[in-house]
Amino acid sequence: MINDVERILISEAQLAERIKELGAQITADYAGKEILAIGVLRGAVVFMADLTRAIKVPVAIDFMAVSSYGAGTDSSGVVRILKDLDENIEGRHLLIVEDIIDSGLTLTYLLENLKSRKPASIKLCTLLNKPERRKAEVQIDYNGFTVPDYFVVGYGLDFAEKYRNLPFIGILKPEVYK
């Protein structure tokens, strides 16, 4: 698996350091409140596990799975809910946890859907932000790292369901995609 990696973009240590900072910032912003962290399956799972443990106010967790119709690596903006939340979110403080914001289309749909259920507040925390490919504007409240327009894997992010368990963010050798 490691032999498929061309380059490490963000190391394990850099991830740990930045997540500590995000956790401290979120802890300060939500003082006196309780958070419902909503992880977007499956890419956000690894980040969710580390981020929630870096937050020192009470955090409940729930997950949603969405799929974007459309071929290949491009998101179409037509989103289908594959797994909905188990929790009732009305009146609660939601923290959406995403792996990466690329076109922004998935998140735009998700935010509209969640807003209609009357939460007390919604904020968005993404590990990675790839602004070069944005098609829909998304307000990111907490951003781990801004990355250039590469297809990245690791730390939850996959290529064909592989590489999610790499402990760093990297890019694959071109021959892997063939």
- Binding residues for ligand 5GP, rule: CB under 6 A, are 43, 68, 75, 98-107, 151-153, 157-159
Given the residues 102, 141, 149, 158, select the one marked as catalytic: 102
Complex with Mg ion: residue 43 or 170, whichever CB lies closer: 43
Q: Which is nearest to 135 in space by CA: 101, 105, 100, 98? A: 105
Q: What SS3 class is residue 1?
A: coil
Q: Rounded distance, CA 138 to CA 25, Å?
A: 20
Residue 43 binds Mg ion (CB under 5 A): yes
Q: DSSP character for 162? A: B
Complex with ligand 5GP: residue 30 or 163, whichever CB lies closer: 163
Q: Which is nearest to 29 in space by CA: 56, 65, 66, 2? A: 56
Residue 39 binds Mg ion (CB under 5 A): no
Residue 153 site contact among ligand 5GP, Mg ion, none (CB < 5 to 8 Å, cut-off depends on kind): ligand 5GP
Minimum distance from CB of 34 to ligand 5GP (Å)?
Answer: 26
Complex with ligand 5GP: residue 30 or 47, whichever CB lies closer: 47
Q: What SS3 class is residue 101?
A: strand
End-to-end CA distance of the chain: 15
Kindly indicate which of the ranges 8-16, 41-49, 125-133, 147-155 contains the residues binding Mg ion, using the contact rule CB under 5 A: 41-49
Find how far residue 61's CA is from the centre of its chain: 14
Minimum distance from CB of 46 to Mg ion (Å)?
Answer: 12
Minimum distance from CB of 40 to Mg ion (Å)?
Answer: 5
Q: Which is nearest to 77 in space by CA: 104, 40, 49, 100? A: 104
102: annotated active-site residue: yes
What amino acid positions are annotated as catalytic residues? 102
Residues near Mg ion (CB under 5 A) are 40, 43, 99, 158
